[in-house]
Amino acid sequence: MRRFLANEQFEINCSQAVVMRARRVRISKIEEMVMLASPPSAVDDTVRKPCRLSLSDRIETWLPKIILAPTFVVTLLFIYGFILWTGCLSFTTSRMLPNYEFAGLSQYHALFANERWWVALKNLALFGGLFIAGCLAIGLSLAILLDQKIRGEGFIRSVYLYPMALSFVVTGTAWKWMLNPGLGIEKLVRDFGFHNFTFDWLTNSELSIYTVVIAGVWQSSGFIMAMFLAGLRGVDDSIIKAAQVDGASLPVIYWRIIIPSLRPVFFSAFMILSHIAIKSFDLVMALTGGGPGFSSDTPATFMYTFSFTRNQIGMGAASAMMMLMIVAAVVVPFLYSELRSSRRG
């Protein structure tokens, strides 16, 4: 009898457990339906309670913005603000002092009718092309040489990098002494007995711009060498070893594998050198002064001369805006093509 009652009680308990489990399943399904039917904001509001940031968290959040704010304001005002102001002056009749009498495009017409401006543009093309090509070629060659793990690499690298520590004014002055026919290379060679030797590029109106190229390449090629050397040291050695196993010679490895992988370095070097070439002012003024005459003028020296020595601020502002357009014409398409190719890659 007791066994029968125990079995019956066990069956009752089992049935109650099944009923309770069914109720829990039904309740959980109802809760899921409510969660799906209700909008996320309402669910978040019911689940998450709003929390307030502490004072230290607020300081940590706002401190970078507070630190960067003065730099941002100064950059916005003194760079982009003055670019806008220069653009406004280029449409006025400003001469010795700024005035805001609108003159339309008359300053730009006068600029392009000026023979000196065309000489400056020609010199910019010559100097920019030779300067960029020379720095890239010499810098890459020196980087490949130092990449061979030669002795005294640290000393040689320091020697090549030393000119970059000098200002363009010091570089221009030093090269002006060396290229002066009465003091420098020409006098030295003639003192050795070669009395017919001439090296008068500095005083030759046809060749004076090339002296600026020589001084510029001498100063900047070491910096480009350092950029290329850093890029070469970042190339994976396993790729080079695999090419050597396949029988490729060292020149072929550099030409087909290593140099193409340095495309980002070429891009950075081109941007830096283009910027230096377009704004070249102190090197030209220290070395040639824009002469003889105005044969070695560049747009930067043209802008300075007409703005501050000839009292034609309007034309100087117009030339400055044309320099800005040249920078944009060189940099923007190249930057766009690089960004587009990186996205595809």
Q: What length does the chain have?
A: 345
**Mean of the per-residue pLDDT values for the chain?**
82
Angle of helix 82-89 relative to helix 313-344, nearest 10 degrees? Answer: 130
Peptide bond into 292 cis (omega under 30): yes
Q: Which amino acid is at 264?
A: P
Q: What is the CA radius of gyration of the chain?
A: 36
Tell me the per-residue pLDDT of 165-178, one tens digit each, with 9 for 90 and over. Answer: 888 899 999 999 99
pLDDT at 23: 59
Region 270-296 average pLDDT? 89
State pLDDT tens for residues 249-259. 888 888 888 88
Q: How confident is the model at residue 4 (pLDDT cuts 50, 70, 90)?
A: very low
Rounded Cα gap, residues 216 and 327, in angstroms: 19
* Residue from 177, 230, 228 nearest 202 by CA: 177
pLDDT of residue 212: 94
- Most distant CA pair in the chain, distance: 141
CB 132 within 8 A of CB 216: no
Q: What is the pLDDT of residue 216?
A: 93
| Distance of alpha carbon 20 from alpha carbon 32, whole angstroms | 19
Q: Which of 92-96, 111-115, 152-156, 159-163 has the lowest mean pLDDT?
A: 152-156
Helix intervals (H) in the chain: 2-37, 40-47, 55-75, 82-89, 106-112, 115-146, 153-161, 168-179, 185-191, 208-233, 237-245, 250-253, 259-261, 263-278, 282-287, 299-304, 313-344
Q: ∠ CA 25-30-31 to the nearest 5 degrees?
A: 100
| Percent with pLDDT over 90 in the chain | 32
pLDDT per residue over 188-226, tens digit each?
Answer: 888 888 888 888 888 888 999 999 999 999 999 999 999
Confidence of residue 318 (pLDDT cuts 50, 70, 90): very high
For residues 234 and 321, the model is more confident at: 321
Contacts of 322 (CB under 8 A, 6+ apart): 108, 111, 299
- Asked if 227 contacts 269 with a C-beta cutoff of 8 angstroms, the reply is yes
| pLDDT at 247 (0 to 100) | 81
| pLDDT score at 224 | 93
pLDDT at 62 over 70: yes
pLDDT of residue 1: 45
CB atoms within 10 A of CB 161: 13
In terms of pLDDT, which residue wins out, 149 or 111?
A: 111
Look at residues 305, 287, 272, 284 and name the one whose alpha carbon lies nearest to residue 117: 305
**Global model pTM greater than 0.85:** no
Reported as a pLDDT band with limits 50, 70 and 90, residue 107 is: very high
Cis peptide before 98 (omega within 30 of 0): no
Distance (Å, rounded) from C-alpha 7 to C-alpha 18?
17
Give the residue among 92, 20, 2 at the shortest CA–CA distance from 315.
92
In the predicted structure, residue 5 carries a pLDDT above the cut 90: no
Average pLDDT for residues 241-247, to the nearest whole number? 82
Joined together, the tokens standing for residue 105 give 């495009």
Instruction: Tell me what the mean pLDDT of segment 31-38 comes to.
Output: 55
Evaluate whether 214 touches 131 at the Cβ level (below 8 Å): no
Tell me: pLDDT of 22 over 60: no
Buried b (16+ CB within 10 A) or exposed e, 258-271: bbeebeebbbebbe
Please, which pLDDT band fits residue 162 given cuts at 50, 70 and 90? confident
> For 112-126, what is the mean pLDDT?
93
Q: What's the pLDDT score for residue 139? A: 93
State the CB neighbour count (10 A cutoff) for residue 55: 7
Q: Which two tokens stand for residue 328?
A: 């944009």
What pLDDT is attached to residue 79?
87
Higher pLDDT, 185 or 25: 185
